[in-house]
Amino acid sequence: MTDEHPELSGYEPGDGRPLRGPRLVLAMRVVVIVGIIALVLPGIITIFSVGGNTADRSCAQWVAFARPDATESSARFEFFGPGGVGWQCYSIGGFGNDQLVASLGIIPSGARLPIPTIGS
């Protein structure tokens, strides 16, 4: 047995230049970045779409429970809202005054309304 590898016979090291040119490296980086964005962006759009629909339905239930005299409800995603970061539920009165009804959180779920007790 010898230490020589037959598959490497005739191999001569390159001249020291990189295997890929700068344009090809830039093109590969652009393709990778576009690919990552194409994978992540639909998930973000879906999260906000489903979250918005859930927040609208949950907010309508909260407003019907807490402010039956309100004309409509409005769910908004706020970064600096009164309830912190997340979906905020507002009731809209007849004259346009918005009142905070509930903070629905970053990922809203169905409305968890309090159960009325006897005598309340």
pLDDT in tens, 9-39: 777 777 777 778 889 999 999 999 999 999 9
110: left (phi over 0), alpha (psi -120 to 50) or beta: beta
Look up the domain containing 41 and give its range: 16-105
1 inside domain: no
7 inside domain: no
From the list 91, 89, 85, the residue with the least C-alpha distance to 106 is: 85
Which H or E element spans position 13?
none
pTM of whole model > 0.85? no
Residues 67-99: tens digit of each pLDDT:
888 889 999 999 998 888 999 999 988 666 888
Domain count, the chain: 1
110 inside domain: no
* Distance set, CA 69 to CA 27, 42, 95, 114 (Å): 60, 39, 12, 19
How many helices (H) and strands (E) would you count in the chain?
1, 3
SS3 (DSSP) at 93: coil
